Structure formats: C-alpha cells, structure tokens
Structure 1
Amino acid sequence: MAAPSTLGRPRTPVRTPPAARGGRRRPRPAGWIFAGPAAVLFTLFFAYPLGASLLQSFTSEDAGTTRWAGLGQYRRMIDDPAFLESLSNTGLILAVQVPVMIGLALAVAVLLNQSWLRFRGTWRAVYFLPAVTTLVAYAVVFQVLLKTDGGLVNQLLGAIGLGPVDWLNSPAWARVSLIVSLTWRWTGYNAVILLAGLQTIGKEQYEAASIDGAGTLTTYVRVILPQLRPVVLFCFVTSTIGTLQLFDENYVLTRGGPDDATLTPVVYLYKVGFQQLDFGYAAAIAWAVVALTGAVSLVQYLVFGREHR
C-alpha cells in the first residue's frame, strides 16, 4: 500500500526559540518560585548584615548619637595596643601551631595509608573524631584537664616527680595550652584530607621510585610531596583562616588572658562590641580581620601555589 502523498498540504511553521533568534529568554515563574525563598534568606541574613556592618564601621557613637567617622575607626586600630597584641598572639599561633599541625597530619596520613596497617577504617575514624566534637565541649574538657589544682595533667606530672604547672594562668603556658588544644582537635581533620590526596597517587609512582633506587624518605620528599602540593596548600589556607577567626577555644579556656596572652582579634571584637558596646569599632575590627585573612591567604597561594596556577 502506497503512503499517502503530502503534496499540497499546508506545512506547520516551525517556531525558532527566542535564544536562537538572538532574543532573551523570559524567566519562567517556576524558577523564581524555587529561587525566591533562598534569595530572600540570603538577603536578610547575609547580604544586608554584611552591608550594614561595613557601613557601621565608618560611624561612631557620641553621647548616644551616631555620626560619620570616615576612616577614624580604622586609624584607631593602629594606635590600639590591645588590638596590636591580639595580632601578635595570632601571628605566634600561625607560626607555631599551623606548621606543626600540618606536619603531624601528614605523618598520620602516611601511616593510615600503609597497606600493612590493620583496622585502617577504625583508625581513620578515631583520628577524625576530635573534628566532630563541638568547640565548646572540647575546650571545657581541656579546661578541666589543665586545672592547676586537681587537673589530670598536673596529677600525672606529680606522679613522676614534677611540680604542678599553672597552665591557664601563666602567659607562656596559656599559649602552649591553646596551641596543644588546637593541634589535638584539627590534626585528624587535616590528616583525612591529606590521606585523600595520597590515595590519588598510583602505586606505580612508588614502584618507579624504588626501581630508581630511591629510599622511602627520598620517595616521599622528591615524588609524593610535590604531587600533594595543592592539598597541602588547601590545608594551610583553611587552617590559617580558622586561626585568624579563633574565638571559642581561647575564650572558654582563658577569656583571652592572662594579661592578653591569648587575646585574638575576634575575642577582642567580642569584648569591644558586647562588653563595651562600641559597635562601630567592633565592625571595623571585623572588616580588618576579613582583609587580613584575604591577604594572608593570597600570599600563601602566591608562594606555595605558583606551580599550579
């Protein structure tokens, strides 16, 4: 049977999509319905507070009246010894705690990546557990452990004939206590990230290095570490950001003391804003921390990430 002829029949015109004709595609109402709540929440709880705090950093309170101060609050920080002390404390923590923590995390990651290690999944979970502990809870635990009178650490020191240490009331030992607590909590977190990087390196890399006569240490230094450079950079940057925003641990342990030995910019911001009620200056400190965080992260990227740009 022959197919019916289509000659003489009017053809249905084919419509060209607006995008193909160079016109703009109209947004569909369904898209706005789904995106609208998220956009409203973003504006109310992020964009508006962010803009308001930036504007507030250029104002000051004078006898209950808000007046425009320009860059006065930022110039005030330059001559504020407490703020400069908080920057010095943060720099010390960055210089000591972050490299030590990343080094320990790398050693743990290498250990957890060994094929001869039994119960590797269990060990990984154990090392990662401190990272899921709430900040305040673990800081309170360290506060109890490091008590001068009756603390477990001093009891252990006494058992081996060493005198008690005033961990939280001595400026030097308070810094040590804070660094130890931070290292305990975040080493496992960074170790898991570095472990993920190690597992992307094929076994043939190790075998090729072994054939060339490289020992274990040489293999890791010359072959493995260069390939882990982006992961190590990520750990350094995130750890730096966390240190510059440090608040919970040192506030619970020492309230920023003694003698401002563990005072950080965020703790100082809290004291200025919520104890002294100087919100304009507190907002300026917050934006100074944002600028400092961005600058330090950029320097780290330029120094350590040049080969991967």
Structure 2
Amino acid sequence: MKNHRKGHLINKGNAPYVLLAPTILIFVLFMIYPIIRSLYLSFFELKSGCYQFVGLHNYIVLFHDRTFYKSLFNTVVYLVIQVPVMILLALAIAVLIEEKFLRGKAFFRTSVFLPSITALVAYALVFKVLLNGDHGLINYVIELFGAKGVNWFYGEWSARIAIIMAITWRWTGYNMIILLAGIQSIPDSLQEAARIDGATARQRFVYITVPMVKQIILFCTITSTIGTLQLFDEPFILTSGGPNNATITMGEYLYDNGFRYLKFGYASAIGYVMTIIIFLLSALQFKATAKGDTD
C-alpha cells in the first residue's frame, strides 16, 4: 500500500515532464542536434568518403571565396532596397486601410494579405511567366506605353529587380497585417484631438502613428532582415543564381555547396557566418532603436 502511494506521487509529480517529453525530444532532434552537428562539421572536410579534421580551413577558404562575396553583395542589395520599400509600403497600406472614408476594408485586408499564404514555388513560377522577356504580361504592359520590353532574367540588375519585385509582392501583406494591428491599438482620442487642433493627415502620420507603432516597425524590420539574409526560394526558382552569379544569395550558395557539391563542412561554415551576420545586424537595429528612444 505504501509503495503504491509512493509510485502514485512520483507519477503525479513527473506528469508535466512526461507530457513535455515528446516536444522536447523533437526540439532536441531537429533543432539542437543539427545546430551542434553543423558546428562540428564546419571543422571537417569530406575526403575519400571520410571526414577529416581541417580546423579553420573552411573558414579561411570562405573569406577568400569570390563567389561567397558575390552572394553576400547580392543579399545586401536585396536587404538595402527591398526591406525599406516593403516596410514603407506595408505601413502606407495599413494607414490607408484604417482611414474612415475607405469602404470594404475586409476585402482589401484579405486581398493584400493573400500573397503571403501563397505557396513559394507556385508564386515564383507565376512571376517567371509574368516576367518572361518574349511574351510576359509585364513586358506587354510596358510596350503599351511605347517603351521597350526588358529581358528581366538576362541582365544583372534587371534580374535583381525581378527578384525584389517578387519578394515585395509576397511579403508586403504579411507586414501590413502586423502594422495594422498596431495602428488599430492607437487610441482614437489621440487622432481626434490632433484633428481638432488642425493637424494634417501627414502630421498625424509623422507625430502620432509612427511613434506609436515604432516597436512594431522594428519587429517587422528585424524579421524581414532575417528573412532576406536567408533568402533562397526566389533566386533559386526564378534565376538559379544567374546570370553569372548576379542573383545568387548566401542561402543559395550554402545549398549549392551542401547538396550539389556535397561539401557539407564548407556549407556548415557558410551557415555559421550567416548566423553571425544576422546576429550583428539585428543587434545594430536594436541598438539604433534604443538610442532613438533615449534621445
């Protein structure tokens, strides 16, 4: 009887851990282990079917790799151009949707948000058709205005612009919904008081809306930065990194080395360098925002 009670108490005390065990096990197997294994592999090189310890050799080679620097440059181009344009566009749409004169707000919210739930491969293939240099719809519209069509995927900058347009189309709605939630949390009394004082729409936007959703803008900027630094699907499907590596990203270069050339150690080194870059940029964004708040 005493042993039965003791066992019952032990089972009751361990119940939360038993329930959490499957989740913890999956997290360890598919998150923690791959992170540790990737760090381990970054110090090894596959030779003749066996892994050989090479120390920092993969990292040294990486910092002399012109293709890696090209992929880093392309990724920074996407980051510097696409992220600010997308955040500003998302903020503008969110503000417009919240205006009282607009009718059918649910329809517009849904329409703008729908691209973000579209399958990555499907929408990338649609853009590949739309931007076709010979019979694409976008070139057809351009030619209607008397301009010459663009061979989007055959020029370095035109291919980059094509990818930027595709990413912006997909993720603007996602950020718009987040910003819209922040704008809706602003007390109506603030906007009404500003209107009574004679503030214009631009002044209300600059001095009320933006300061009140500043932290949400930061959140959207950081998540968009991380997503852009990990960009893979669009360049891989639309341009395959071409022409002449003009659109290859760090994520695609990691994939090529790991799964095309089977250089798992080198790919792991690229992954950890990407992680460091993402951490540093995120830290800088947090620091810049914190400094702005203190000022």
Deviation string for 1:118-153 (max 9, x for gaps)? 111111011100000011110000001111121122
1:141/1:305 CA distance change after superposition, 3 Å: farther
CA distance in 1, matches of 2:176, 2:49: 51
**Which of 248, 265, 270 is the equivalent residue of 2:233?**
248
Aligned length: 285
Range with greater deviation from structure 2 (275-284 or 63-72): 63-72
User: C-alpha separation between the residues in 2 aligned to 1:160 and 1:108?
Assistant: 27
Give distance in 1, aligned partners of 2:242 and 2:114: 29
Assess if the C-alpha contact under 8 Å between 1:230 and 1:308 holds in 2.
Answer: no
- Name the aligned partner's letter for residue 77 of structure 2: L
Q: Which structure dedicates a bigger proportion of its chain to helix? A: 2
Question: What is the Cα deviation at residue 162 of structure 1?
Answer: 2.5
Cα deviation per residue 1:15-48 (whole Å; 9 max; x = unaligned)?
xxxxxxxxxx998232232112122212222221
Aligned to 2:154: 169
Q: Where does residue 282 of structure 1 map in the other structure?
A: 267
Give the whole-Å Cα distance in 1 for the aligned partners of 2:204 and 2:101.
18
> Are 1:83 and 1:268, in contact at CA under 8 Å, matched by a contact in 2?
yes
Distance across 1 between alignment mates of 2:220 and 2:185: 17
Question: Map of 1:57-72 to 2, 5 A cutoff?
Answer: 57-72=42-57
The equivalent residue for 1:109 is: 94
Contact 1:230 1:305 (8 Å CA) reproduced: no
Aligned position for 2:135: 150
State the Cα distance separating 1:110 from its structure 2 match: 0.5
Show the counterpart of 1:37: 22
Whether 1:259 aligns to 2:244 is yes
Q: Residue in 1 aligned with 2:170?
A: 185
Identity %: 43
Alignment partners' CA distance in 1, 2:142 and 2:183: 38
Check conservation: 1:58, 1:71, Cα contact below 8 A.
yes
Structure 1 residue 212, shift from structure 2 partner: 3.4
Distance, in Å, in 1 between the alignment partners of 2:127 and 2:118 is: 13
C-alpha change, 1:161 and 1:227, in structure 2 (3 Å) is: same
- After superposition, what is the alpha-carbon deviation per residue over 1:243-298, rounded to whole angstroms, capped at 9, x for unaligned? 00100011000011111111100100111111111110001101111111111111
Distance 2:292 2:66 in 1: 39
Does the CA contact (< 8 Å) of 1:86 and 1:262 recur in 2? yes
1:181-238 deviation per Cα after TM superposition (whole angstroms, max 9, x unaligned): 1111111111111111101111111122233332221121122211111010011001
1:226 aligns with 2:211: yes
Q: Quote the Cα distance in structure 2 between the aligned partners of 1:106 and 1:37.
A: 40
| Comparing 284-293 and 160-169, the one that deviates more | 160-169
Larger mean CA deviation between 35-44 and 76-85 belongs to: 35-44
Q: Quick check: 71-80 or 250-259, which moved more?
A: 71-80
Q: Which has the larger radius of gyration?
A: 1
Say yes or no: does 1:128 pair with 2:113.
Answer: yes
| More off after superposition, 214-223 vs 225-234 | 214-223
Partner SS, residue 258 of structure 1: coil
| Secondary structure, aligned partner of 1:208 | helix
Query: What secondary structure does 2:109 align onto?
Result: helix
Tell me, in whole angstroms, the C-alpha distance in 1 between the residues paired with 2:170 and 2:21.
39
Contact 1:124 1:192 in 2 (8 A): yes
Alignment partner, residue 76 of structure 1: 61
Structure 1 outlier segments of 4+, above 6 Å: none
Does residue 118 of structure 1 match 2:103?
A: yes
Cα distance change of structure 1 residues 27 and 42 upon mapping to structure 2, 3 Å threshold: farther
The CA RMSD measured in Å over matched residues stands at: 1.7
